[in-house]
Amino acid sequence: MKTLLFAIIAVIGVSLGIGGTAHAYPQFQMSRDQTCWGCHVSPSGGGILNENGLNVAESISQFGTSPEFLNKLITTPDWLALGGDFRGAYGYLQTPEKSLDPIPMQAELYANARFKDFTLHVTAGARPPEYRNESATYFWSREHYLQWQTAAADGELFVRVGRFMPIFGLRFAEHPDYTRRYGGTALYTDTYGVAVEYVRDKYEVHVTGFIKDPIIDPVAHDNGGAAYAEYRVTDKLAIGAEGMFTKSDDDQKIRGGLTAKVLVAPTVLIQGEGQFVNQQIVGGGAPNQLVAYILGSWFVTDPVMVDVGLGHFDENIRIKNLDRDCVDLNIHWFTTSHIELIVTNRLEVIGQTKGGPTGAYSLLQLHYRL
Amino acid sequence: MVALAACGTTEDDRPATLRYVTESILAPSCGEAQCHSTFKQSLGDVFDTVVGARQSLHRNGLALYSDRTNAADAELIHWVTDDKPFNRTDPQGNIIGRMPWDAPLPNADIDLMKKWIAAGVPGAQCVPEDYGGQDCNLNAVVECDSEGNYGATVMACSGATPTCVCDGSSNTCGCKAQ
């Protein structure tokens, strides 16, 4: 049975080829729980759900169903948690050439083994294969780390060593969101590092030091450090601050920014992140950039969440018509505890339409959580 | 957002160099993980590092153009301005469309790339160090004139004498290590 299951998963992974991955939904914060750790095993969110997260997945879904791994067809010992995510999309793109395209996104499995205060976590699955090195690069482990955690002063202290995404900013699931794509945590920029994280109901602090991946041909080419702190002023308002320094052979970047989350109604959360970026390019050039994203999320009913996002990115604030703005409309339907349908839409203009062609996409995405 | 969008008033005086074009335009727009990153290297092009961009320009002759008075004729510019620019297909047999695939480039960035190409692609000349101190990529595409002589000023070597072949089919060029 297990062999057959893994064979099916492997075939799905190969057929997907893969072009994206996803993390947690910070849209759930405040209305469901104060912290990412309230629903996820990881202190920074994403991946395997804990018992509370499983209960939320079941309670908000249209048709229920058992939320556990594989609908509880397989039970694991208490020390072992398994999971996985599969995503794919199809739809219309206008960039500005118009096309209909399939977009393979994610086929990953997670394993989390906990022994007392230590946790070993592995995320493994398909990846976009490297050109002319395909046979060796269809699969990889995007995350693998050892984590130590202990209770400390009404909170929980975590130390992670291994490969993971530096913890920075609001950590939206959708990697095209400007504060992810242009904001220091682009798709597959997970790398080796050490993180010290402290999480309690009132506040959380994450500090990460990281290096360029010395093992594979990586996405990110930097060494650096990142810090993010979030303070919950009330149970309906949180503010945060962030900073990141990265240095590669070709440039260095300093990022500083602020975040905020406001639960304006029991079912409406507005959150935003803004960054100022200074890039120093080796050999000349030092553009200052702005990156911002504001997301309003409304649970129309429990199974339906509507996101409206506004993004702004200015690659060089000194030069006119290099800024881009987008309006995103994403509609999530949580059908069962495991299956989510998402319609994602974007309209994007450059220089307020005077700086370049208008882009757009409209995609239907299917997400299956194992 | 509207107030932020109003930023930027200066005429474009950004450096027209490989380093600037790579780090400011190519890496964030073309060098994404699933596209022309070192990680994926889609169709052999890498645009997220200066060395990768330089090698990709050589291998695929992306900065060459037949009309020396028109930098917009360079292949790199066609890729970011034309629909289905060369009717080439990807490994799945689909015709490759205009780049970047997921979001358009600002006109000002395309203009800066044209300016850079028209100036002789400063910084993109073949550097033996990119190839571990060995001769430069012998498959670099070179511009040839009608008599079969190379006129490889666009892809000239850096501090080295190019050794080029113009036989009408391969049109390759290499740079000897110093």
- Answer whether B33 sits within 8 Å of A188, measured CB to CB: yes
Q: What is the ipTM of this complex?
A: 0.90
Q: Is A187 on the interface with B (CB under 8 A)?
A: yes
Alpha helices (runs of H) in A23-139, residue ranges in sequence order: 51-60, 134-137
**Residue pLDDT, tens place only, B119-149:** 878 888 767 666 665 555 544 555 555 554 5
What's the rounded Cα separation, in Å, for the pair B18 and B26?
A: 10
Q: DSSP secondary structure string, B81-108?
A: HSSSSS--B-TTSPBP-SSSSSSPPPHH
Q: How confident is the model at residue B66 (pLDDT cuts 50, 70, 90)?
A: low
Would you call B38 and A218 a contact, using CB atoms and an 8 Å cutoff?
yes
Which two tokens mark B108? 């000002």
The structure tokens listed for B92 are 């799945």
Q: Alpha-carbon distance A229 to B53, whole Å?
A: 37
Q: Does the distance separating the beta carbons of B17 and A285 come in below 8 Å?
A: yes
Q: Report the 10 Å Cβ neighbour count for A152.
A: 11
Which of A182, A317, A319 has its CB closest to that of B28?
Answer: A182
Verify whether the Cβ–Cβ distance A322 to B44 is below 8 Å: no
pTM, whole model, 2 decimals?
Answer: 0.88
Q: Does A324 touch chain B (CB under 8 A)?
A: yes
Contact residues, chain B, for A281 at CB < 8 Å? 15, 19-20, 23-24
CB neighbour class for A284 (10 Å; exposed up to 12, middle 13-18, buried from 19): exposed
Query: What's the gap between Cα A354 and its chain centre?
Result: 32
Give the N- to C-terminal CA distance of chain A in Å, as an integer.
16
**Distances, alpha carbon A119 to alpha carbons A35, A144, A161, B148, in Å:** 19, 10, 11, 66
- Give me the total of CB pairs closer than 8 Å, taking one residue from chain A and one from chain B: 173
Query: Which residues of A fall within a CB distance of 8 Å from B100?
Result: 95
How does residue B67 score in pLDDT terms, banded at 50, 70 and 90? low
d(CA B21, CA A169): 28
Verify cis geometry, omega within 30 degrees of 0, for the bond prior to B100: yes
Nearest-Cα residue of chain A relative to residue B45:
A131
Q: B177 pLDDT exceeds 90?
A: no
- Candidate from B1, B19, B39 with C-beta closest to A282: B19
For B8, the closest of A128, A216, A323 (CB atoms) is A323
Reading chain A (370 residues) residue by residue, the pLDDT tens digits are: 444 444 444 434 333 334 555 567 888 888 777 788 888 988 888 889 999 999 999 999 999 899 999 999 999 999 999 999 999 999 999 999 999 999 999 999 999 999 999 999 999 999 999 998 999 999 999 999 999 999 988 899 999 999 999 999 999 999 999 999 999 999 999 999 999 999 998 999 999 999 999 999 999 999 999 999 999 999 999 999 999 999 999 999 999 999 999 999 999 999 999 999 999 999 999 999 999 999 999 999 999 999 999 999 999 999 999 999 999 999 999 999 999 999 999 999 999 999 999 999 999 999 999 9
Q: Which of B11, B24, B50 sits opposite A285 (nearest CB)?
A: B24
Give me the residues paired with residue A175 across strands: none
